[in-house]
Structure 1
């Protein structure tokens, strides 16, 4: 017989407590979860780096760095891409895309994500 799993919507706060390009770290049961807002959308991940267990969601939020290449394929330094934000684990610098939870250079590493909902000006994480 297959097990059915039901998720509980855990209230974490009012919508305004997670500003654009900001985050909130909350404890829900025995888990610590980081909630981020990017492009008006919320993303939630367990605050546990798959690299070595560090508090990944508490790291610095940085824009992706891209090489600035012109039409002749000449490089003109680097630029920041504010449309793709990353969070960097403070323990060893493992860097993850906030919109996907995926490590930027090691695709098999990914933050454990949770569904997150916003309703009536309130934020809920499904656990």
Structure 2
């Protein structure tokens, strides 16, 4: 399907990406990672802006937070599943899946790809 120079390409079915799952697909000369977090799909080029690594093939994990009490004492680390991250397997660059923004450097971000889910099918626009 083509609309004003943009082509929507079917890349899979709804069941191919469960909650907290991913699908990495080749579309033309691009490799795209698609993630489902809190029922929503997010898609990015599989190129880490740090040094070009295959970021979408990295570990999906919750944000790590330090547990600090009211007296400002630290009590170890814990996971915050309300914010899921993807970690580039090359150098550990960590990005928030819902935004594509690096977890510590707000100017560093993944290149997003338009993704749609319609009638049980998943499409990306390229």
Q: Into which bin does the TM-score normalised by the smaller protein fall?
A: over 0.9
The reply on whether 1:108 has 2:90 as its aligned counterpart is no
Unaligned 5+ residue runs, structure 1? none
- Offset at residue 83 of structure 1 (A): 1.2
Aligned residues: 123
The equivalent residue for 2:78 is 79
Matches within 5 A, 1:89-100: 89-100=88-99
TM-score w.r.t. structure 1 length?
0.93
- 1:35-82 CA distance string (max 9 Å, x none): 000000000000000111110000011110011122333221111011
Which string of whole-angstrom CA distances, capped at 9 and with x for unpartnered residues, describes residues 83-116 of structure 1? 1111111111111110011111121211100111
What TM-score results when the alignment is normalised by the length of structure 2? 0.93
Structure 2 counterpart SS, 1:8: strand
Q: Which runs of no fewer than 5 residues in structure 2 stay unpaired?
A: none
- RMSD in angstroms over aligned alpha carbons? 1.0
